[in-house]
Amino acid sequence: MTDANQPGGPAQEPEVPATDAMRCRSCGNEERASEGYPCSRCGTFICLICTFRGITLCASCRGETPVA
Ligand SMILES: [Zn+2]
Ligand SMILES: [Zn+2]
């Protein structure tokens, strides 16, 4: 990783920055917070994948055991 400090290097990162990662309270996956949606009841993070599957409530709001 000798080129990490070069000025003007490529800005794109191959991995999702950890600063933007949040754990989905429905499926437990870590996804980008900016690409997810809040639970419609409590506002906790639900990932885009769950939203696509029609999920609008987190696990605890559905009465299930919350993901760790
Ligand atoms: Zn999810
Ligand atoms: Zn909720």
SS3 annotation, 15-61: CCCHHHEEECCCCCCEEEHHHCEECCCCCCEECHHHHHCCCCCCCCC
Q: Is pLDDT at 16 greater than 60 in this prediction?
A: no
Q: Among the bound ligands, name the one nearest to the CA of residue 67.
A: 1
- Centre of ligand 2 to C-alpha 4, Å, is 40
Residues bordering ligand 2, an ion, CB closer than 5 Å: 39, 41-42, 44, 58, 61
- For residue 57, which ligand has an atom nearest its CA? 2
Is this prediction's pTM over 0.75?
A: no
Apex 66 CA angle, 61 and 68, nearest 5: 150
Residue in the structure block whose two tokens are 């191959």: 14
> pLDDT class for 65, splitting at 50, 70, 90?
confident
**Residue with token string 């709001």:** 61
